[in-house]
Amino acid sequence: MPALDAALLSVLTGSGVAGVFCALFVFGRIFPASVLTDLRAENTELKAALKAERDRADAAVAAAQGTRDILAALQAGARLGITAAERPGTGGGSA
């Protein structure tokens, strides 16, 4: 809480409700309605941005899982010694 000059403090306390209101406003305990409206609008925008970021992250995870599955299948095929020419339906191999 900022330090107040003694004269200012006596004026604020002597003015009753208006002094209390002024003191609360100065110390940031009371806000104008426009400030609250701006904060609510900013909060809504931030929530929308967060949702979009989460959606992008979910898409990236799905893509990474698909890539992992493809690489696992390729590695399994390499371990079994299957080449493109030996796979059925590729036109290779001996028939």
Residue 51 is part of which domain span? Answer: 7-80
Asked, for residue 75, whether it belongs to a domain, the answer is yes
* Structural domain contains residue 22: yes
pTM value is: 0.50
Q: Are 84 and 92 in contact (CB under 8 A)?
A: yes
pLDDT of residue 72: 92
For position 92, what pLDDT does the model report? 52
Torsion of CA 82, 84, 90, 93, to 10 degrees: -70
Within a domain: residue 61? yes
Give residue 12's pLDDT.
65
Residue ranges, the chain, pLDDT below 50? 1, 95
In a domain, 54, yes or no: yes
pLDDT score for 49: 97
**According to the model, what pLDDT value does residue 83 have?**
62
Q: Is 43 within the bounds of a domain?
A: yes
Q: What is the pLDDT of residue 88?
A: 62
In a domain, 69, yes or no: yes
- Determine the pLDDT at residue 55: 96
